[in-house]
Amino acid sequence: YVFGVTIANDLSARDVQLPQGQFLKGKSYRGFCPTGPVLAALEPDDFAVLDDLDLRLDVNGEPRQGDNTANMLYRPAETLTELTEFCNLSPGDMLLTGTPHGCVATSPPPVVRRLATALLPEDKLWAAFVKLNQRKPYLQPGDVINASIRSADGVLDLGTQRTTITAP
**pLDDT digit string, tens, across residues 116-154:** 778 888 788 777 777 777 777 678 899 999 999 999 999
Higher-confidence position of 56 and 98: 56
Given pLDDT bands bounded at 50, 70 and 90, which one contains residue 107? Answer: low
Most confident of 19-33, 73-87, 91-105, 148-162: 148-162
Cα 127 from chain centroid (whole Å): 23
Rounded to whole angstroms, the Cα distance separating 155 from 127 reads 46
Backbone angles phi, psi at 131, to 5 degrees: -60, -45
Rounded to whole angstroms, the Cα distance separating 65 from 72 reads 13
Which domains does the chain possess?
Answer: 4-101+139-164 (3.90.850.10)
Specify the pTM. Answer: 0.78
